[in-house]
Chains A and B, each alone.
Chain A
C-alpha cells in the first residue's frame, strides 16, 4: 500500500499551495470521522492527504447583512451551541445536535458533511431547506460560490474538483416570522444514522397562515432535495390540522416520486407521514389542531 503524504496547511495561502498538488486520488481531511474510518477499514490510502484542521480561519459563524456565514471547519458541537445558528437557523442547530455522538460532534465539520456526500448527512438536509450556497477555493486561489444541490450530486459524488476545498456555507438568516425544525428517524434514538430526515422552514404570518414553505428530505434517494409540488401544497394555507394532514400526505407523495420501485419505498412512504407530523408539530404553529396532529 502506498504511503500517503499528509500536508498540514496553517492558513489559506498554504492551503491553496497544498491544493495545487492535489490529484484525483488525493483527499481533503477535515474532522476525518468518515474518511479515516474508510481508509482504515477498507485498507486504502490516498496519494495525498490535505488536513484542513489547521486552517483555523475557516472556523466561524458570522451574521452579516442578514446572511449567516458558517465556516467549513465549524464542528457540529459548535453549530449546535452557537447562539446565531440557534436563533437564525434552528433546523441546522437541531440537525447538528443529532449527528453521531459527542465524540463525533466535537470533530466532524459542516464542510466535511457536504464533501462526504452521504445521502443521510443530517446537516445537508437542513442546509438544503435553508437554500444554502457553498463557497469554495481551488489551487489557483479562485473563489467560487454555487448552490448546495449543485455540489452534492449523489451518494459519495460531488461536483468538487480534486483541488477544490469548501470554505463556507451561507444562507439568508431566518427572522422572527420564520419557524423551522429538523427531524429524523434512525434505528435508535441517539448516535444513529438517518433512515429518513426532514428539514422544514416556513414563514408564519400573524393571520395564522404559512407561506414561503421549504421542505428538504434526506436519506430518500442519493442526495437531500426539495420538492416544489410539496411546498406549493401549503402556500398560504392556515396553520391548522387540515394543513398538517395535507403536508403529511404530500410528503408521502414526494417520497413516492423520489424513489419509485426502491426497496425502501414501502417503509419510507409511511414513515415519512409520522416524521411529517413530528416536524409540523415541532414548528409550534397549530395551537388549534393539537388533537389531530400526532
Chain B
C-alpha cells in the first residue's frame, strides 16, 4: 500500500506492506537504525518515537496508522547547530552506557519536555517508566532530563519538528 508520512521534517511516499510496523519501515525502508527493537511488545521502550508530539512504541503501531502524520526519531533531534540539549545533557551526566536504550529514552524525554517544559521529578520518572535500561540504574538519566528542563529555553536547540495541530486523516 502507498503510505505518505513526514519523518524528521521530510515528506516520504513509500510502498509498504499493509502489516508492516512503523519500526520496520523506519529501520528497513528509511534506514533510521537509531530506532532500536528490544522486546517487540511495548515493555522496553527502545523503539520509542514521537508521532504528532506523542511518544509511541514504534513496534506496536502499524506504519499504515501513521499515514499523514509527523514522525520524529532520534536522528531528527540534532540539527545544523549540533546536538539537542537533551542529548548534550545525557552525555554530560553519563546517562549513556551501552546506548541501546538511549534513543528511546531520549524520545520519551523529548515528548515529555515538548508537553511540559519544566516537569517534576515524578513526572520525569513516569514519562520514562516505559523505557528500560539495564546499565545506568536510571539515576543519571533522570538527572539529565531534569538538567535539560532547567536550562533556559533559548539555550535549547529548536525542535526539528515544530508542534503542529493534529492533521486530519
Which residues of A are at the interface with B, using a C-beta cutoff of 8 A?
A: 3-6, 8, 10, 29, 31-33, 36-37, 39-41, 45, 49, 51, 53-54, 56, 77, 100-104, 106-107, 190-191
A166: min CB distance to chain B, Å = 18
List residues of chain B with CB within 8 A of the CB of A106. 54-56
B95: min CB distance to chain A, Å = 18
List residues of chain A with CB within 8 A of the CB of B130. 100-104, 191
The residue of chain B having its C-beta at the shortest distance from the C-beta of A53 within the complex is B65
List residues of chain B with CB within 8 A of the CB of A77. 54
| CB–CB B45/A101 < 8 A | yes
| CB–CB B169/A37 < 8 A | no
Whether B14 sits at the interface, judged by CB under 8 Å, is no
List residues of chain A with CB within 8 A of the CB of B59. 36-37, 40
Interface centre among A49, A77, A107, by most B CB within 10 Å?
Answer: A107
| CB–CB B45/A103 < 8 A | yes
| A291 to B61 Cα, complex, angstroms | 48
List residues of chain B with CB within 8 A of the CB of A6. 1, 18-19, 62, 64
Nearest 7 CB-CB pairings of A with B: A101-B130, A6-B18, A190-B129, A106-B54, A103-B57, A37-B41, A33-B60
B14: min CB distance to chain A, Å = 14
In this complex, the interface size class of chain B, counting residues with CB under 8 Å from chain A, is 20 to 34
Could you list some 20 contacts between A and B, CB below 8 A?
A6-B1, A6-B18, A6-B19, A10-B169, A32-B60, A33-B57, A36-B60, A37-B60, A40-B59, A41-B40, A51-B64, A56-B168, A101-B42, A101-B57, A101-B130, A101-B131, A102-B108, A102-B130, A103-B42, A103-B60
List residues of chain A with CB within 8 A of the CB of B18. 3-6, 49
B39: min CB distance to chain A, Å = 9
Whether B27 sits at the interface, judged by CB under 8 Å, is no
The residue of chain B having its C-beta at the shortest distance from the C-beta of A46 within the complex is B19
A148: min CB distance to chain B, Å = 25
| A40 to B40 Cα, complex, angstroms | 8
| CB–CB A4/B19 < 8 A | yes
B73: min CB distance to chain A, Å = 14
| CB–CB A41/B41 < 8 A | yes
| A190 to B41 Cα, complex, angstroms | 16
| CB–CB A191/B56 < 8 A | no
The residue of chain A having its C-beta at the shortest distance from the C-beta of B20 within the complex is A6
| CB–CB B40/A45 < 8 A | no
List residues of chain A with CB within 8 A of the CB of B112. 102
B123: min CB distance to chain A, Å = 10
Given A4-B19, A6-B62, A107-B61, are A37 and B40 neighbors across the interface (CB < 8 Å)?
yes
Whether B21 sits at the interface, judged by CB under 8 Å, is yes
Given A53-B65, A101-B130, are A107 and B60 neighbors across the interface (CB < 8 Å)?
yes
B163: min CB distance to chain A, Å = 15
B42: min CB distance to chain A, Å = 6
| CB–CB A191/B62 < 8 A | no
| CB–CB B48/A103 < 8 A | yes
| A37 to B40 Cα, complex, angstroms | 7
Whether B118 sits at the interface, judged by CB under 8 Å, is no
| CB–CB B54/A104 < 8 A | no
| A190 to B65 Cα, complex, angstroms | 27
| A49 to B48 Cα, complex, angstroms | 24
List residues of chain A with CB within 8 A of the CB of B40. 37, 40-41
| CB–CB A103/B67 < 8 A | no
B165: min CB distance to chain A, Å = 13
| CB–CB B42/A37 < 8 A | yes
B window 94-126: CB within 8 A of A: 108, 111-112, 126
Interface centre among B59, B61, B168, by most A CB within 10 Å?
Answer: B61
The residue of chain B having its C-beta at the shortest distance from the C-beta of A38 within the complex is B41
A225: min CB distance to chain B, Å = 27
Whether B43 sits at the interface, judged by CB under 8 Å, is yes
| A107 to B43 Cα, complex, angstroms | 14
List residues of chain B with CB within 8 A of the CB of A5. 18
Whether B127 sits at the interface, judged by CB under 8 Å, is yes
| A169 to B64 Cα, complex, angstroms | 26
List residues of chain A with CB within 8 A of the CB of B111. 102
